[in-house]
Amino acid sequence: MSNDVLAHLDVEKIRKQFPVLHQEVNGKPLIYFDNAATSQKPKVVIDALSNYYERINSNIHRGIHTLAERATSAFEDTRKKVSEFLNANEVAEIIFTKGTTESINLVASSFGRKFIEEGDEILISHMEHHSNIVPWQMLCEEKGAILKVIPINEKGEVIYDEYLALLSDKTKLVSIVYVSNTLGTINPVKEMAADAHKFGAKVLVDAAQAASHLNLDVQDLDCDLLAFSAHKAYGPTGTGVLYGKREILESMPPYQGGGEMIKDVSFSGTTYNEIPYKFEAGTPNIGEVVAFDSAIDFIQEIGKEKIAAHEDYLLEYANERLNKIEGFVPVGTAENKVSVISFNIEGVHPFDLGMMLDAKGIAVRTGHHCTQPLMDRFEIEGTARASFAVYNTTQEIDQFVEYLTSIAKTLRK
């Protein structure tokens, strides 16, 4: 890949849209390489959030006054935008949550408690985030079900033959991450869903890390459920999405009780609302949902293909330079991955690396990245993780490599 890839984007123009990038941290220009934790927000998203609270602020679905109607319209416009973003079959298949974690917990609580029975099996992979491990552990403990783990190889890739061997008539759910937040590995979720469906199992895809980089077409993937968070896709925090096929969502009981998720309430009984409102009890995070509409516009105006090409180029460029550093040990070298690099420097604790990089104005993530079982698989305590977004540059990577080389030499003496 050549610099021609960069010609597709005016990265400097894009950077100007992100106010947070134009500051110094510890006396150095900020280099933000923690995008796998949360991406920064363009001005259009910040302005949309401010505009909501300055001009629209009202509760939704329950009022007939002008502001209530404006708020409801803006909120539902985002639902429609998300539906198109995922190529859902219909708008009603989109549920708003506070993030991927709540979306997964919703499925575990609702689908799991209704359909999972003693002896049933749930499959997850060895690279899952804690939010796609712990809810299933809790459910299995409650139900007497069995949680099985799909193994991965030394590159950080699912061992597909082992996955196929785990599938059986006892498999009721496969919950799999699309892109590993720690390794960047892209899992073959379309193929995994097809094979799971042969045994009648349902498939939930954790797309938190995929939403800003990969094309998410739920009809093409044929997944039954899919979850992601706005804040990893240039949108606000506290906002997430759960997609589900209509027939599955309609079969699931409500997750929480309260306002909005009901049609009629009396002391003798309650009639629940239709989807998606059945799963949206109480006042939602209205302003942030409304602002997420602008984040989707931002992604689509640039184009996911161009975003992915730029980030893939940065990944290739960074890997080539980082692998020349003495003592550099990459963790996760899958053939198919996004712009996430987890690594260690021999003889240096990742926490020390992170602190010293921060002193130079470079933000990376250190630790186990909410994937402790994955760290155990590689027999390490944790890693440093650099992750790139559309606004990052090769010049920033050059600076990162220069500082990291100096740090490595100093701390390894």
Kindly state the DSSP code that residue 187 receives in the 8-state scheme: P
Evaluate whether 93 touches 243 at the Cβ level (below 8 Å): yes
Kindly state the DSSP code that residue 354 receives in the 8-state scheme: H
User: What is the spatial distance between Cα 209 and Cα 387, in angstroms, rounded to a whole number?
Assistant: 11
Q: Which residue has the tokens 């949902």?
A: 289
Evaluate whether 120 touches 146 at the Cβ level (below 8 Å): yes
User: What is the spatial distance between Cα 409 and Cα 413, in angstroms, rounded to a whole number?
Assistant: 6
Nearest 5 degrees, angle CA 378-CA 209-CA 313? Answer: 85
User: What is the spatial distance between Cα 238 and Cα 103, in angstroms, rounded to a whole number?
Assistant: 12
Q: Which of 30, 68, 103, 47 is nearest to 391 (CA)?
A: 30
User: What is the spatial distance between Cα 103 and Cα 227, in angstroms, rounded to a whole number?
Assistant: 6
Maximum CA pair distance of the chain? 74
Residue 370 is a catalytic residue? yes
Catalytic residue among 30, 134, 370, 411: 370
Please, which residues bridge with residue 362 across strands? 31
Q: Which residue has the tokens 């390490």?
A: 380
Query: What is the number of other CB atoms lying within 10 angstroms of the CB of residue 287?
Result: 22
What type of residue sits at position 9?
Answer: L
Query: What is the number of other CB atoms lying within 10 angstroms of the CB of residue 267?
Result: 5
User: What is the spatial distance between Cα 310 and Cα 412, in angstroms, rounded to a whole number?
Assistant: 33
Catalytically active residues are 370
